[in-house]
Amino acid sequence: MLEPMTSVGFITNPNHGQHSVEGHPESPQRLEATLSLLKECGLLDRLQQIEPRNAADEELARVHPAAYVAALRRRCEEGGGWADPDTYLLPGSFAAALAAAGSCMEATDAVLSGRVDAALCAVRPPGHHARPGQAMGFCLLNNIALAAAHARSRHGLERIAIVDFDVHHGNGSQDAFYDDGGVLYVSTHQFPFYPGSGQAGETGAADGEGTNVNIPLPGNCGDEQYAAAFERVVGPVVRRYRPQLILVSAGFDAHFADPLAGMSLTTAGYGELTRRLVALANELCDGRIVAILEGGYDLVALPWSVRTVIETLLREEPTPDPLGTLTPERPPEIGGLLEELRRIHSVS
């Protein structure tokens, strides 16, 4: 077992409930169920609570054009509507998104200043689909892209890795840094699937050529396939990049119980992916790692997966979850895909 960390930070945005449409899968119940489990098991009391805050306009401008931010704020103030068929806006939605983004920056500050060793941001609305000038896929502001930009601007970091294990490709995060070699973006995602981006050949442009790494996995991949992807591709490309901070788009909708996708990861599988990322952070950047909640829509799988990630950040053996294990029937063969990705990205 790994030695315990000194502290793990935890932050949430208490105004997230202002962003809610009845029957929509991206609902306040996601965080309510998660917080309930963390309180019930006593884990929440063992974490260093970080005070949430709102993002400032000048911070948002590092990723999102001022005209987009102003239009989003105005539309919410005028009553909201739908940014796309999946993404709703209400009068309180902009305030919730502002607090989610600001809280992720605050958690990043806490890690980079040494107040905590690692942090988990249980915030909503999620962010990795939000493009610089477009809300989509349940996302209004790109929380993790803003955290990365903040780490560069406020703390002077030159190399940041974003590892995204949400079941959907983080097209907004990719777009934010596609031509920027200062951020490595690595994504494991179901493909073909929403939002349609994330092909292996999308490797970056200009100064960002080679720093965009997509691992488009076929449906029904489980713990074994994800572990292989991390062993054969994620680990080597992150290690070669030598980031000064690892940010994790922690989406839990690749869980076999999730209703919105077709993957077969287990809660224990998420623990293993987190363990590998913690080991990389320890090796490369003094253990500095911040996990930011993205998707995850089953109200049992999501809380237990978050609990598992926190226990792993604390260097503890994760508590077995009530959903148990799953061995996919006819799991896909991905060896050829991983070898092709190693070739594309010159992994020896």
Q: Judge whether residue 323 has pLDDT over 60.
A: yes
Secondary structure letter of residue 264 according to DSSP: B
- Over residues 340-344, the mean pLDDT reads 98
pLDDT bracket for residue 343 (50, 70, 90): very high
Compute the average pLDDT of residues 115-144: 98
Residue type, 89: L
pLDDT score, position 6: 67
Catalytic residue among 16, 19, 129, 169: 129
What is the pLDDT, as a whole number, of residue 97?
A: 98
Q: What is the mean pLDDT of residues 193-208?
A: 98
Instruction: Summarize pLDDT for 158-176 with one digit per residue, the tens.
Output: 999 999 999 999 999 999 9
DSSP code, position 27: -
pTM over 0.95: yes
Cβ-in-10-Å burial (0-12, 13-18, 19+) of 228 comes to middle
| Domain 8-344: assigned CATH number | 3.40.800.20
Alpha helix positions (H), the chain? 29-40, 57-60, 66-77, 93-112, 143-155, 171-177, 223-229, 235-241, 267-284, 301-313, 335-344
The confidence score (pLDDT) of residue 1 equals 43
Neighbouring C-beta atoms of residue 348, cutoff 10 Å: 5
Q: 129 an active-site residue?
A: yes
Q: What is the pLDDT of residues 254-292, one digit of tens each?
A: 999 999 999 999 999 999 999 999 999 999 999 999 999
Is the model's pLDDT at 157 over the cut of 90? yes
